Amino acid sequence: MAYALGIEAEIKCSANMFYGLFKDNITELKNLFPEIYESIHVIEGHGPSVGSVRLWKYKLGMKWYFATTKDRMVTVNDEIKSITWSLEGDMKNFEIKLNTNGDVQFPTAFINYLHTLTVKLPSRLLKRA
- Alpha-carbon dihedral of residues 69, 75, 80, 82, nearest 10 degrees? -10
Q: Phi-psi bin for 104: left (phi > 0), alpha (psi -120 to 50), beta?
A: beta
Q: What is the pLDDT of residues 8-24, one digit of tens each?
A: 777 788 888 888 988 99
The predicted structure's pLDDT at residue 1: 44
Domain ranges (residues) in the chain: 11-128
Burial of 98 from C-beta contacts in 10 A (0-12 / 13-18 / 19+): buried
- For all residues of the chain together, what is the average pLDDT? 77
pLDDT, residue 28, reads 92
Mean pLDDT confidence for 59-84:
79
Sequence-separated (6 or more) residues with CB below 8 Å from residue 78: 23
Give the per-residue pLDDT at 93.
58
CATH assignment of 11-128, among 3.30.530.20, 1.10.1050.10, 1.20.58.220, 3.20.20.30? 3.30.530.20
Q: Which of 48, 9, 35, 19 is nearest to 125 (CA)?
A: 19
Which pLDDT tens digit goes with each residue over 40-64? 989 998 878 888 888 888 887 666 5
